[in-house]
Amino acid sequence: MNLDLREQRLLPISIFFQIKSDNLINIVEILKKVCYNSLCLTVHTYIEGSRFGTMALRRVVMFGEDTLRKTSRKVEVFDDKLWVLLDDMQQTMDQFGGVGLASPQVGILRRVIVVEDSDTEKRVELVNPVITKEVGQQREVEGCLSSPGEWGYVKRPERISLTASNRYGKEFQLDAKGVFAITICHEIDHLNGKLFTDLADEMVEDEEELEKAKRSRNRKCKRKKKRR
Ligand SMILES: [Zn+2]
């Protein structure tokens, strides 16, 4: 889900290193600066054949691509592949200023989402999330990292309860309300091939109206970080 987005189309690039060097991190940092703002960069770093560290900004899958219409599979194995996926999703969110990301948006059809709690600004990783309770209704404007520039009003429950696992497979329960609940519902929809535009009862194109809608939605957040 997108609350703060540079509206641009991205050129995906992957760079693979096989370097025996203590300066590897420096090289990655230089690349990060050079490529920032202009490219979607994935850098896999290997030393002597093993994955050493990663600065992995994954390409964000866009509306219109088949992947976003598929149903994601449950995670059964909580291994390093999952941890790398979660780390990469976190970094991709950082790069594009999103408050939520579902793994199909980076091309992986697994039931994995990362969301930011709008009240605490803390990130939560949810593996195999299942909503167990929905209460009330709210209608706010939503956007998506996979569809820059599109915004629409969607009705969502005001409060939800859910169960999920963390990255190590430990199950937990979570209650969410307001914008946090919206973000979780939006991302879980991605796991079922559903997009916010399927649910939107009104798209918002007028710039002034959009700003007003975002201000109204952001008033629900306890922490008033600058959100678009
Ligand atoms: Zn989305």
Position 119, amino acid: D
Same domain, 19 and 96: no
Q: Let me know: does 132 contact 162? Beta carbons within 8 Å.
A: yes
* pLDDT for the residue 118: 87
* pLDDT for the residue 164: 98
- Rounded to two decimals, the pTM is 0.77
What separation in Å is there between the alpha carbon of 59 and the centre of ligand 1?
A: 14
Q: How far apart are CA 60 and CA 91, in angstroms?
A: 12
Choose between 127 and 46: higher pLDDT: 127
Q: Can you give the residue range of the structural domain that contains 78? A: 72-218
What separation in Å is there between the alpha carbon of 80 and the centre of ligand 1?
A: 25
Same domain, 53 and 82: no
Same domain, 18 and 100: no
Residue 66 resides in a domain: no
Burial bucket for residue 125 (CB in 10 Å: 0-12, 13-18, 19+): buried
Same domain, 90 and 48: no
Same domain, 44 and 126: no
* pLDDT for the residue 225: 57
Looking at the structure of the chain, the number of domains it has is 2
Q: What is the pLDDT of residues 114-162, one digit of tens each?
A: 999 988 989 999 999 999 999 999 999 999 999 999 999 999 999 999 9
Same domain, 86 and 52: no
Same domain, 134 and 193: yes
- % of the chain residues with pLDDT over 90: 66
Q: Which string of b and e fits 158-180 if b means at least 16 CB within 10 Å?
A: bbbbbebbebeeeeeebebbbbb
* pLDDT for the residue 45: 39
pLDDT score of 52 more than 70: no
What separation in Å is there between the alpha carbon of 143 and the centre of ligand 1?
A: 7
What separation in Å is there between the alpha carbon of 154 and the centre of ligand 1?
A: 12
Catalytic member of 150, 187, 207, 211: 187
Residue 225 resides in a domain: no
Token duo for residue 36: 């920032």
Residue 228 resides in a domain: no
Q: What is the pLDDT of residues 64-94, one digit of tens each?
A: 999 999 999 999 999 999 999 999 999 999 8
Number of helical (H) and strand (E) elements in the chain, helices listed first: 5, 11
Residue 62 resides in a domain: no
* pLDDT for the residue 43: 43
Same domain, 127 and 50: no
* pLDDT for the residue 3: 52
187 assigned to active site:
yes
Choose between 23 and 88: higher pLDDT: 88
Same domain, 45 and 77: no
pLDDT-based confidence at 17, cuts 50/70/90?
A: very low
What separation in Å is there between the alpha carbon of 169 and the centre of ligand 1?
A: 25
Q: What is the CA radius of gyration of the chain?
A: 18
* pLDDT for the residue 10: 42
